[in-house]
Amino acid sequence: MNKIAKYLNQHLIGNVFDSEEILAKYSTDHSIVKVTPKMVVVPEDTNDVRKVVRFVSQLAKKDVRLELAVRGSGLDKTGADLGKDILISMENMNKIQEIDERSRLVRVQAGVKLGALNQALSLVGLTIPINGDPEDTIGSLISNFKTDSYAGKYNGIYYYVDCLEAVIHTGDVIQTNRYSKHGIAKKQGLTSAEGALYRDLYGLIEDNYDLVSDLRARDTIDSTGYQMITQVFRERGNTFDLMPMFFAAQGTLGIITEVILRCEVLPDEPAHFAAAFGSAKAAVDYAISLESLNPREVNLYDARIFKIAAESGKDPNIFSKKFSGGYMLLVSFDDSERKSRRKIAKCLRRLPESAAAIIEDEANTGDFQKIVTAIRSFKNDNLRGERAPILDDVYVPADRLDELVKALKSQEEAYDVELPLMGSITANNYCIRPDLRLNSVEGRQVAVRLIKDVAEALNEQGGSLTGGSPEGRTKALAAYPELTDAEVVLYTKVKDIFDPLEIFSPEIKLGAGLKETVKNLRTSYLEDITR
């Protein structure tokens, strides 16, 4: 064991590992990037995290540079939870600290998984209404700020975070809160690193008031850089809260250790129906007409997805083959059973004659489950297949989706690869999974070019590559060049304020570069990873 790993092991409750076998398991996530750390730290509590950050900070002051990256369950698709020096895995910081049923609040460590949390909350009739991977951690959901398919109705993870605790660059702990002008003044008067954060960020926003206002007013949803700076001043500028800065920051501003979340009452079991259309435009127009009914989800799927899944034996066979070249909508409502059924009846009355629909009932529940398994088979999420998630969580307005589909057709012809689209119309969040062979130089070159070309097509339609999740290493290749000079300066100053010693993942987001990212691209997407 190397000297640093041994020293840290002597001072932590948790463990530090540097064996080749363990490091290899933490060298990949769900992205197409592979970065092997020098050691992996698995802390047990906030104090462990503080000790590691303080140790690295002290070394940095002596010009000995070690980078810190933080990892939840390893589900990131942009390479943001990988690091070349010290990787902090939050897997053991997975405790539910307290559930307050009366106030509908829950306090958790950042490594708690969404599925485990909602299972515990369901016992008291509560839930966090996020449709994320049940293996994803609460800390990762905040850091990666992914838009989920329930967000159209339930607003997404940002709406449910009341406050959080984070370890900053000095190893100190801060607890975010929404402060009035008097509270801000008290925080700015502190002589600690926390006081400096409040003074410097407040001053940065004041000095760049017009730019921040412009960013706030934009219609396009975009997580590149640190755009959540627009949310620090809240309630018409009368309160100041650091909490938004940690959303979409991907661990580059500090390490989230605890979170207090607001909960919702557990809804009834959802009612579903599926509808098939001959074109994307017909499907989107119909979906938009359902907006007033407030569905839980309206998800769109290119029919080619089911054709490809059928080749692996996963054929839902729910509609006739005449719709094999069109699009499917899967719609759900989670109101009371009676109300959901009434809403579905209204949906069917609005259905165009050229479309077909099937309502889920006891007799065909298995067929609807086959739709879900067919989608999973296509995406290869659990099998680590070659359908690489380089274009997941992109944003485009619903009324421009048909134009994006046309643009994707041109890209298919240019690259000789199918680009079927799927995603949530209500949340305007989509993914495009190209079938690429990353074991060839040509396949890896196509992956990089596709990221850039699809980003351009999204921009032309008022969308963005990072609308549903931030840039990390891979999306940064296309997202970063789109920033204006003023935005680059603003976001660089944000990073300097929170991380003056450049210890928190300096190679992702603004620090990601083409040469380094391409060097770290995997030669296969079939490698095992630790979830």
The terminus-to-terminus CA distance of the chain in angstroms comes to 25
Element (H, E) at 86: strand 86-89
Per-residue confidence (pLDDT) for residue 319, from 0 to 100: 75
Domain C-terminal end among 233, 250, 265: 265
> DSSP secondary-structure letter at 146?
P
Domain shared by 210 and 309, yes or no: no
CA–CA separation, 382 and 371 (whole Å): 16
| CA distances for 17 relative to 1, 31, 48, 56, 258, angstroms | 8, 23, 14, 16, 24
Per-residue confidence (pLDDT) for residue 119, from 0 to 100: 98
Which sign does the torsion angle of CA 105, 338, 357, 316 carry? Answer: positive
Position 127 in a domain: yes
Position 336 in a domain: yes
**CB-CB contact of 271 with 360 (8 Å):** yes
Residue 460 has pLDDT above 90, yes or no: yes
Residue 194: pLDDT band by 50, 70, 90 thresholds?
very high
Task: Copy the structure tokens of residue 501.
Answer: 């010693």
Domain shared by 231 and 321, yes or no: no
Domain shared by 149 and 237, yes or no: yes
Task: Copy the structure tokens of residue 243.
Answer: 């909490």
Residue 527 has pLDDT above 70, yes or no: no
Q: Name the more confident of 320 and 490.
A: 490
Per-residue confidence (pLDDT) for residue 529, from 0 to 100: 41
Residue 8 has pLDDT above 50, yes or no: yes
Which sign does the torsion angle of CA 386, 392, 398, 400 carry? Answer: negative
Position 476 in a domain: no
Domain shared by 211 and 300, yes or no: no
Per-residue confidence (pLDDT) for residue 524, from 0 to 100: 67
Domain shared by 221 and 168, yes or no: yes
Domain shared by 233 and 296, yes or no: no
Position 183 in a domain: yes
Domain C-terminal end among 265, 296, 331: 265
Domain shared by 215 and 296, yes or no: no
Residue 415 burial (CB < 10 Å; 0-12/13-18/19+)?
A: middle
Q: For position 211, which CATH number holds?
A: 3.30.465.10
Q: For position 345, which CATH number holds?
A: 3.30.70.3450
Domain shared by 112 and 258, yes or no: yes
Sheet holding 15-17, edge to edge: 15-17, 39-42, 86-89, 68-71
Residues 151-163: tens digit of each pLDDT: 999 999 999 999 9
Domain C-terminal end among 240, 265, 290: 265
Per the structure, the complete domain to which residue 309 belongs is given by: 271-379
pTM of the full structure: 0.94
Q: Which amino acid is at 104?
A: R
Per-residue confidence (pLDDT) for residue 196, from 0 to 100: 97
Residues 391-426: tens digit of each pLDDT: 999 999 999 999 999 999 999 999 999 999 999 999
Domain shared by 134 and 216, yes or no: yes
Domain shared by 251 and 341, yes or no: no
**CB-CB contact of 361 with 396 (8 Å):** no
Per-residue confidence (pLDDT) for residue 235, from 0 to 100: 66
**CB-CB contact of 417 with 434 (8 Å):** yes
Position 359 in a domain: yes
Position 258 in a domain: yes
CA–CA separation, 35 and 460 (whole Å): 33
Per-residue confidence (pLDDT) for residue 381, from 0 to 100: 55
Domain shared by 171 and 311, yes or no: no
Residue 272 has pLDDT above 50, yes or no: yes
CA–CA separation, 250 and 445 (whole Å): 26
Query: What is the count of structural domains for the chain?
Result: 2
The least confident of 68-72, 131-135, 138-142, 377-381 is 377-381
**CB-CB contact of 378 with 435 (8 Å):** no
Residues 109-150: tens digit of each pLDDT: 999 999 999 999 999 999 999 999 999 999 999 999 999 999
Q: What integer is the mean pLDDT of 437-459?
A: 91
Which three-class secondary structure string do you get for 235-288?
CCCCEECCHHHHCCCCCCCCEEEEEEEECEECCCCCEEEEEEECCHHHHHHHHH
DSSP 284-314: HHHHHHTGGG--SEEEEEETHHHHHHHTTT-
Residues 38-54: tens digit of each pLDDT: 999 999 999 999 999 99
Q: Name the more confident of 259 and 439.
A: 259
Per-residue confidence (pLDDT) for residue 388, from 0 to 100: 83
Kindly give, in sequence order, each residue whose CB lies less than 8 Å from that of residue 405, ignoring residues fewer than 6 positions away.
Answer: 280, 421
% of the chain residues with pLDDT over 90:
82
Position 496 in a domain: no
Domain shared by 215 and 320, yes or no: no
Position 107 in a domain: yes
% of the chain residues with pLDDT over 70:
96
Per-residue confidence (pLDDT) for residue 322, from 0 to 100: 57
Task: Copy the structure tokens of residue 386.
Answer: 């070659």
Residues 77-110: tens digit of each pLDDT: 999 999 999 999 999 999 999 999 999 999 999 9
Q: What integer is the mean pLDDT of 369-376?
A: 89
Per-residue confidence (pLDDT) for residue 528, from 0 to 100: 42
Residues 305-340: tens digit of each pLDDT: 998 888 888 888 777 665 667 999 999 999 999 999
